[in-house]
């Protein structure tokens, strides 16, 4: 047992502890293993990453998923391989694993320490260039930021589904991914905003998640009474609509028109199996209003939404 075992075991760190404790980790530490152990003490699950940012390859037994994968993976298997196989899924706060012989070679060759953001209750909005940063400054609430090579990581409290390229130069890193540890950053961490969650609306607005209530204050004028032929629940429609509207209004600088088209197409495609009517006209008017509110000329918004609804209806749900 090392001194870290008493700290890291049986005492799951709350996020607030994580935030404060992480500040003690030295910025730019050369000793990756030492940094990793300090993070693990703070409740941050870590793994070694290569010089080129990527994870180390799987060992022979784990190659091509022969082991079935780790229990925490999407397609869960029973892999208990001692090596840092399966990228993010190997991330751990257990110092015995981190300092084990099976991890030693990877630490010696490591270029950077990686961590699993959702594993410590966080979401990283990875902004890869100046335009993405500019978008974030106009759209997302201020939070703790960490400088990266070309941009910044914005760290929020709360977890969500991860997705790459949700906008040009913007990745969401939270569940089932790793992020690079580039230092504790500066600023006060704030809660994950609904605008960030809305960036992956397509995946999260599936029927399986229809019961999720929207936290957005915006009130839709779509009404059940105009949709008596719709097979979806009112909550499902409102959640999808409000998330879509949030996506449109998040585009305060440019692209709100094409976003309106995409949202209309996505929402209309949900109703191709309904006998109808589903109140799609009312949904369309809501999207037009949201786009106009962020500066899209009304005729353009009308056209974009009408095209989106028409395109969506052609697709099988
Ligand atoms: Zn393995
Ligand atoms: Zn394995
Ligand atoms: Zn419907």
The rounded distance, in Å, linking the Cα atoms of 123 and 283 is 31
Q: 281: which residues sit within 8 A by CB, 6+ positions away?
A: 226
Distance 84 CA to ligand 1 centre (A): 7
Distance 90 CA to ligand 2 centre (A): 9
Residues in the chain: 317
Check residue 174 and give its pLDDT: 94
The residue written with tokens 């229990």 in the block is 71
- The DSSP string of 205-252 is TSGGGTTPPP---------GGG-TT--S-HHHHHHHHHHHHHHHHH-S
Q: What is the separation, in whole angstroms, between the first and last Cα of the chain?
A: 55
Distance 59 CA to ligand 1 centre (A): 4
Listed by start position, the domains of the chain span: 3-110, 119-192, 196-314
Check residue 263 and give its pLDDT: 93
- The number of the ligand nearest the C-alpha atom of 64 reads 2
Beta strands in the chain (DSSP E): 46-49, 112-115, 122-127, 144-147, 152-157, 163-167, 170-173, 179-180, 190-191
- The number of the ligand nearest the C-alpha atom of 317 reads 3
Distance 198 CA to ligand 3 centre (A): 21
- The number of the ligand nearest the C-alpha atom of 241 reads 3
- Give pLDDT tens digits for 197-252: 888 854 333 333 333 333 333 334 677 777 788 888 888 888 898 889 888 888 76
Q: Is the pLDDT of residue 1 over 80?
A: no
Distance 228 CA to ligand 3 centre (A): 9
124 vs 74, 151, 248, CA distance in Å?
Answer: 20, 13, 22
- Give pLDDT tens digits for 56-111: 989 988 887 788 889 888 777 889 899 999 999 999 999 999 999 999 999 999 99
- Who has greater pLDDT, 141 or 74? 141
């Amino acid at each position: 047992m090392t001194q870290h075992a008493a700290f890291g075991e049986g005492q799951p760190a709350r996020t607030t502890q994580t935030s404060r404790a992480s500040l003690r980790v030295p910025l730019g530490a050369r000793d990756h293993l030492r940094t990793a152990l300090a993070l693990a003490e703070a409740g941050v699950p870590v793994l070694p990453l290569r010089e080129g940012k990527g994870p180390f390859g799987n060992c022979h037994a784990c190659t091509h998923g022969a082991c079935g994968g780790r229990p925490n993976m999407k397609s869960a298997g029973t892999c208990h391989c001692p090596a840092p196989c399966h990228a993010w899924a190997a991330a751990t706060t257990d110092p015995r694993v981190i300092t084990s012989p099976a991890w030693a070679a990877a630490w010696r060759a490591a270029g950077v320490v990686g961590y699993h953001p959702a594993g410590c209750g966080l979401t990283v909005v990875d902004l890869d260039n100046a335009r993405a940063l500019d978008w974030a400054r106009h759209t997302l609430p201020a939070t703790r930021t960490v400088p990266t090579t070309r941009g910044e990581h914005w760290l929020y409290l709360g977890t969500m589904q991860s997705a790459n390229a949700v906008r040009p130069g913007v990745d969401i890193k939270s569940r089932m991914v790793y992020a690079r540890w580039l230092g504790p950053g500066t600023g006060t961490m704030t809660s994950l905003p609904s605008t960030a969650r809305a960036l992956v609306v397509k995946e999260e607005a599936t029927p399986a998640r229809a019961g999720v209530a929207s936290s957005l204050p915006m009130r839709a004028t779509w009404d059940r009474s105009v949709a008596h032929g719709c097979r979806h629940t009112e909550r499902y429609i409102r959640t999808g609509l409000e998330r879509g509207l949030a996506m449109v209004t998040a585009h305060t600088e440019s692209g709100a028109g094409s976003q309106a088209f995409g949202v209309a197409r996505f929402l209309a495609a949900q109703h191709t199996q309904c006998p109808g009517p589903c109140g799609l006209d009312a949904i369309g008017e809501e999207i037009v209003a949201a786009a106009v509110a962020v500066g899209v000329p009304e005729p353009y918004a009308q056209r974009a939404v009408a095209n989106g609804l028409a395109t969506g209806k052609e697709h099988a749900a």
